[in-house]
Amino acid sequence: MVLRIKSFAQGQPLSALSADTSICGGRGLSEFAVELRDVTKVFGEVVAVDHVSMGIRQGEFFAMLGPSGCGKTTSLRMIAGFERPTSGEVYIDGKPMGSTPPFRRDVNTVFQSYALFPHMTVEQNVGFGLEMKGVPRAEINRRVKEALELVRLPQMAKRYPRQMSGGQQQRVALARALVNRPKVLLLDEPLGALDAKLRKEMQIELKALQREVGITFVFVTHDQEEALSMSDRIAVFSKGKVLQIGTPLEIYERPNCRFVADFIGETNFIEGKVKQIDGEFAVLESDGRCFVGRAGEGLRVGAQASLSVRPEKAQLVEQPMNSANCYEVRVHSVAYVGSDTRVIVMLGDQHFDIWEQNSLSTLDPNYFFGPGERAWLVFRPENALILAE
Amino acid sequence: MASDTPIVLIGDRAEVAPRPRGATAKLRPGRFALTVAALFTFAFLYVPIAVLIAFSFNSARTGATWQGFTLQWYERMLSNPRLIDAAANSLIVAALSTLGSVVIGTLMAIAMERYRFRAQAVWDGLLYMPVIVPEIVMGISLLLFFASIGLERGLITLIISHIAFSMPFVYLTMRARLADFDRSLEEAAQDLGADEWTTFRRVTFPLLLPGIISSALLAFTLSLDDFVTSFFVAGVGSQTLPVYIWGQIRRGITPEINAISTVMLILSIVLVILSQALQRRQSSH
Ligand SMILES: Nc1ncnc2c1ncn2[C@@H]1O[C@H](COP(=O)(O)OP(=O)(O)O)[C@@H](O)[C@H]1O
Ligand SMILES: [Mg+2]
């Protein structure tokens, strides 16, 4: 597969992005629906969000992705106005938010627990925001009906939340937020409580809904597959910091550090020292073997680094090939998992995963090596990435 | 075999009922002792009350013999102006002290639940301490307090005292309710454009209302039944019903007293049942 990677500029830490946004704030549409400039949030001893800067573009489906406890919810709550940054500033549509309370911000939230009002019917829940804005009754009724149709629950208007399934409650929460036509919709792991199958369906539906309404979505998730499949861009969080912001393709193909490479998808790491850097490529020496891969940012000759190769981008061959990155290995195990076959080999004393998509030819019982057999591992330098420690 | 075993439906689950054991089945001695003990316990708890209720309908003026059914003690009770006054005092004190203790207790519970400040555990403990202060101590201390500030004994002192002893119960009930309260509901309201006051009115208050009502019923019952504290702080013209009854008893127990006591008992039971029903309704939400 040939990948057309246009630019990696967006993949860099966003200090660059926040530098030239002084044009915002006047009338007219700001470039960013939401912007965080050097935002930090400290709870007692814990630095929940650590100097985060990012710009979320108008109409974008933007994901905040990271393991639990990395500061995603706190970031979202600062945008919504439930928390105030310890330092830094949140901008919505170019305007600094300062201490603007949540009820004066043009954003709506879909809570992880849905937070539907238990003493109100679905209809009353969905109409609550419009009622607060003083929209006339007749218009409220019309828009509530539309919103319930949008989430495909028109017949549930008179029910109470407790009379509905989790998936249905989730849609009501979505309708309750969308009916207000906010500038930005904030979603905190909205699919987290759903079972796997419903979750997949809702991912597709939510994405389609976002295209339909054209509202900027900021979507928090710890599920990298969910983030990759739904988002226009992703911010990868770790320990309160944003490590990388980019399109799913950039994040997957061109992670800017070891954490991102490891967190997004599966990968093999080979650790060693940088031996040589030559333009776009670099050479890593590990355990007496030399590997060639694309050079990541901030590599220095002689420094410790890791080479990352995705399991689907490495192959096994019977004979040594006269090319870079070809080394003898011993097959450790072979597992058929339906869509592909997963082979684990030993490169020296290290495990190395190789996945091959199953096809007609792989069905031949002799196609794969058996455990204990000798083989040669090979991968192309373009498919490997050498990342500074 | 199993075919002659009756199937009993309990809820939506079918269960096999135990086979009836015929008259030949022997009661084991342990089980017999337990049954007797249980019967004694219930008798001990309820026979005196049952006797009191029965005698309120007994046409004999004195003595413990049954001489036929009558409602005359109830009629006489209703035509006794001093008793009606005492009952009115009781209701006024109960209503106003309930209002006071529910407002104060609920606000204190919200403040303690929502804000963090120094020595919070100590303040929290002080708020429910009156629950364990012996009532006679409470009564004497209140009496001394009112005397020292020169406040005449009367309905005002009764109301203040009743707020003092029932507020901790309201506070404890509301703390428990607030601990279960999902704060994200309030955030959701604010997110949808409701300011703090609207959020309280439309979300917080309606959701706390069942708890508020059940603690109000509890406070009302406590006030209505109180004797010890009221005995100390009631003035001559402001006796509550229990204090009036006590005054009458010094001249011997009359069937009229039995009638009043029966009415009070039934009122208390109704209030407690109402309060329990509300608790259950909320927890099934
Ligand atoms: N209100 C709070 N008080 C104290 N610590 C908090 C609070 N909210 C979040 N934290 C801490 O901040 C860190 C980030 O939390 P959070 O933003 O919820 O992470 P995520 O949503 O990515 O799982 C965690 O260590 C969490 O314990
Ligand atoms: Mg979270």
Q: How far apart are CA B112 and CA B102, in angstroms?
A: 15
Question: What digits encode the pLDDT tens for the residues A48-67?
Answer: 999 999 999 999 999 999 99
Residue A71: predicted pLDDT: 95
Cβ burial A203-227 (10 Å sphere, 16+ → b, else e): beebbebbeeeebbbbbbbbbbebb
pTM of the model: 0.78
Q: Is A334 helix (H, G, I), strand (E, B) or coil?
A: strand
Q: Which amino acid is at A210?
A: Q
Ligand 1 pocket residues where CB is under 6 Å? A 43, 46, 48, 66, 68-74
DSSP lists the bridge partners of residue A334 as A343
Question: What digits encode the pLDDT tens for the residues A151-185?
Answer: 889 899 999 999 999 889 999 999 999 999 999 99
Interface of A with B (CB under 8 A): 80-82, 101-103, 107-109, 111, 113, 115-119, 128-129, 132-133, 162, 176-177, 180
Within 10 angstroms of residue B180's Cβ, the number of other Cβ atoms is: 10
- What are A195's two structure tokens? 């079972």
Inter-chain touch B192–A82, beta carbons under 8 Å:
no
In which element (H, E) is residue A332 found? strand A326-336
The size of the A-B interface in CB pairs under 8 A is: 59
Query: Which residue among A43, A52, A109 is best mutated to probe the pocket of ligand 1, counting the most ligand atoms within 8 A of its Cβ?
Result: A43
pLDDT class of B25 with cuts at 50, 70, 90 = low
Residue A32: predicted pLDDT: 94
pLDDT class of A25 with cuts at 50, 70, 90 = very low
Q: How far apart are CA B188 and CA A174, in angstroms?
A: 12
To 5 degrees, how large is the angle CA B99–CA B104–CA B108? 150
- Are A164 and A156 within 8 A, CB to CB? yes
Question: What digits encode the pLDDT tens for the residues A262-279?
Answer: 999 899 999 999 999 988
Of the candidates A154, A105, A98, A155, the residue with the CA atom closest to the CA atom of residue A129 = A105
Please give the distance, rounded to the nearest whole angstrom, from the Cα atom of residue B181 to the centre of ligand 1: 20
- Are A56 and A37 within 8 A, CB to CB? no
Q: Which amino acid is at B203?
A: V
- What are B184's two structure tokens? 């994200």
Overall average pLDDT of the A317-341 stretch: 90
Which residue has the least CA distance to atom 8 on ligand 1?
A74
Inter-chain touch A102–B188, beta carbons under 8 Å:
no
Interface-testing mutation among B177, B192, B208, B281, with chain A (most A C-beta atoms within 10 A):
B192
Q: Is A131 exposed, middle or buried (0-12, 13-18, 19+ CB in 10 A)?
A: middle
Question: What digits encode the pLDDT tens for the residues B101-123?
Answer: 999 999 999 999 888 888 888 98
Task: Please tell me which of the candidates A101, A117, A176 has its beta carbon nearest to residue B190.
Answer: A101
Residue B31: predicted pLDDT: 86
What are φ and ψ of residue B38, in 5° steps? -65, -45
What are φ and ψ of residue A138, in 5° steps? -60, -40
pLDDT class of B282 with cuts at 50, 70, 90 = low
Q: How far apart are CA A271 and CA A304, in angstroms?
A: 7
Of the candidates B50, B67, B45, B62, the residue with the CA atom closest to the CA atom of residue B256 = B62
Q: How far apart are CA A7 and CA A5, in angstroms?
A: 6
Q: How far apart are CA A73 and CA B97, in angstroms?
A: 45
Interface-testing mutation among A100, A121, A128, with chain B (most B C-beta atoms within 10 A):
A128
Q: Is B15 helix (H, G, I), strand (E, B) or coil?
A: strand
Please give the distance, rounded to the nearest whole angstrom, from the Cα atom of residue A215 to the centre of ligand 1: 27
Q: How far apart are CA A269 and CA A308, in angstroms?
A: 5
Residue A17 C-alpha, separation from nearest chain B C-alpha, in angstroms:
28
Residues 6+ apart with CB under 8 A from A369: A316, A331, A334, A343, A375
Inter-chain touch B192–A128, beta carbons under 8 Å:
yes
Homologous superfamily of the B72-284 domain (CATH): MetI-like (1.10.3720.10)
Q: Is B221 helix (H, G, I), strand (E, B) or coil?
A: helix
- Are A337 and A330 within 8 A, CB to CB? no
DSSP lists the bridge partners of residue A346 as A330, A351
Where do the structural domains in chain B lie, given as residue ranges? 7-55, 72-284
Inter-chain touch B193–A129, beta carbons under 8 Å:
yes
- Residue B5 reports pLDDT greater than 50: no
Residue of chain B nearest A104, judged by CA positions: B193
Of the candidates B210, B197, B203, the residue with the CA atom closest to the CA atom of residue A128 = B203
Q: How far apart are CA A265 and CA A245, in angstroms?
A: 16
Q: How far apart are CA B68 and CA A1, in angstroms?
A: 104
Q: Left (φ > 0), alpha (ψ -120 to 50) or beta: where does A135 sit?
A: beta
Please give the distance, rounded to the nearest whole angstrom, from the Cα atom of residue A303 to the centre of ligand 1: 35
- What is the number of the ligand 1 atom nearest to the C-alpha of A64? 22
Q: How far apart are the first and last CA of chain B?
A: 44
Q: Is A190 helix (H, G, I), strand (E, B) or coil?
A: coil
